[in-house]
Amino acid sequence: MDIPQLDAKVLIVDDEPGIRSGVRRVLTGCGAQVEQASNGAEALERLTAEEDFDVAIIDLLMPALDGMGVLTHLADNESTVVPLVITAHATIETAIEAMRLGAYDYLPKPFVPMELIVRVERALRWRRLRQQADRLLLEVSGDKTRLKTIVDCLADAVIVVNVENQVVLSNPAACEILGLPEPPQEPCPLDIVSGTPALLELIRKAAQAEGPACSASARLEIADRIYLARVVPIIPSGDGLLGTATVLRDVTDLTRLEQAKSQFMSLVAHELKSPLAAVQGFLKVILGGQELPPEKETALLQRCSERMEGMAQLVRDLLDLSRADAAPARRIEPLAVEDLLQELVEANDPLAERYQVTVETHLEPHLPPLYADRDDMLRLFGNLLSNALKYNRPGGRVSLTACRRGESLALEVQDTGLGIPPEALSRLGEEFYRVNAPDRRGIVGTGLGLSLVKRTLAAYGGNLCIESTPGEGSRFTVEIPWEPPSPE
């Protein structure tokens, strides 16, 4: 039989010099490094001072401190040394007690050299296996900790259920949905999901799957929020079902956005359909060869022109909305308020003449420049002025007043027009919303102007105040900082 080589450091603890020297001679012959101690107390000193012993061969009956005391010390201090007990007084009781205290093996005296060598070799092999297991356990523990950290940081809710219908992993996002204070530290019954029966049914359905591709998904409404839930069975290759993994993604905002987009497209189609149908009807009359008085033909063409202008304005407003949503790069420059308002008034002179409205301007002297994008301001103030003109009365007035108000420019647009019903004030600024009243049905508009005003003001940190008395007129007050807020 080949004698194995022992690459190890061994401590022999025995009060008999002959045993110590015999063990030393046998083990050094196999390549081991052997140190000696004559009693338990000396052994503890050696073991405490030197941390690199692999095996300790310990006699049970010794003066000062017996072998059981040494084993107890090693166990209490979680030593990595592998204890191997030798004794001339072997009994079942002492063997059981020694094993309970962590002894790897129990060798009665007398013993032959080969028996000692084999026991030490096994002890070394067991020590290596234990070290490897400890390393793997540490790695697994680290992987588990990293996995939990990653899962806890996810915005999506994660719930993992085992085959015994126990929740074994969940994250804070899942606890928020399920109404739990914190993720359970131990496996807990699936009943914690009972408050969301649709989710519970989805998990149970996936648990009955016969393959990893048999996942279940659905949109669930939980506590006024909408979630996209997907449950996947955990079936490793060649193995049976281990459980299910559930991910819930909050799609409330996305769903509402989809609904708003669909509604928006329907409104655009409606806003284009009505004027197109009117223009088509007018043109059929004109092209039908029917003799019409010149004044009636002119009136039809005028109405066609107004409808076409309304559609053109709708397209312009839609493009402006698109630019606002895209957060365009603005060209911020100092703008003289007086020049800006004069340009607005001149640009709207034709509209004022059409509706027979007088425009007055009142400016506080020495106003500082307004730092903004010129196109943004022309569009913002232009929408307010054109509304004041269109919803006015023949012979009415529009007053533009600009003044300082704290760190902002305050611009008031006041008219003597139709006014706004109180119930409609809260809806002004909604896309395509227009007051439905007989006295304003002939006024061309898109219902997008005030929406653009509010979006532009939001970009500059400004605000809008609307006051109105039906039948007497309205006042729109814009406050916009002299300098825009810094981009985040």
Task: At 334, give phi and psi (nearest 5°).
Answer: -75, 130
- What is residue 433's three-state secondary structure? coil
Per-residue pLDDT of the chain (488 residues; tens, 9 = 90+): 577 788 889 999 999 999 989 999 999 999 899 999 999 888 888 888 876 889 999 998 888 888 888 888 888 887 888 999 888 877 788 888 888 888 888 888 888 889 889 989 998 888 888 888 778 767 766 667 787 778 888 888 888 888 888 888 888 888 888 887 777 777 888 877 767 888 888 888 887 766 555 678 888 888 888 889 898 888 776 667 788 888 989 998 888 777 767 766 776 676 677 777 877 887 787 777 777 788 877 887 777 777 777 777 777 767 776 666 655 667 889 999 999 999 999 988 988 998 899 999 999 999 999 999 898 898 889 889 988 998 888 999 999 999 999 899 999 999 998 888 888 777 776 766 666 665 555 565 556 778 888 888 888 889 999 898 888 899 999 999 998 776 55
Q: What per-residue confidence (pLDDT) applies to 385?
A: 92
Q: What per-residue confidence (pLDDT) applies to 91?
A: 79
| Pick from 317, 341, 255, 257: nearest CA to 455 | 317
Angle in degrees, 0-180, between the axes of helices 113-153 and 17-28, rounded to the nearest 10: 70
Task: Please state, in angstroms and as integers, the Cα–Cα distance from residue 403 to each residue in 4, 107, 362, 365, 399, following that order.
Answer: 100, 103, 9, 8, 13
Torsion of CA 68, 70, 72, 77, to 10 degrees: -170
Q: What per-residue confidence (pLDDT) applies to 50?
A: 74
Q: What per-residue confidence (pLDDT) applies to 446?
A: 59
Distance CA 142, CA 158 (A): 20
| Pick from 200, 205, 254, 209: nearest CA to 227 | 254
CB atoms within 10 A of CB 261: 10
Q: What per-residue confidence (pLDDT) applies to 359?
A: 92
Distance CA 468, CA 95 (A): 99
Q: What per-residue confidence (pLDDT) applies to 64?
A: 80
Q: What per-residue confidence (pLDDT) applies to 365?
A: 92
Q: What per-residue confidence (pLDDT) applies to 257?
A: 74
What the chain holds in terms of domains, given with CATH numbers, is 9-133 (3.40.50.2300), 154-250 (3.30.450.20), 256-328 (1.10.287.130), 329-488 (3.30.565.10)
Distance CA 81, CA 84 (A): 10
Distance CA 106, CA 256 (A): 74
Distance CA 71, CA 26 (A): 24
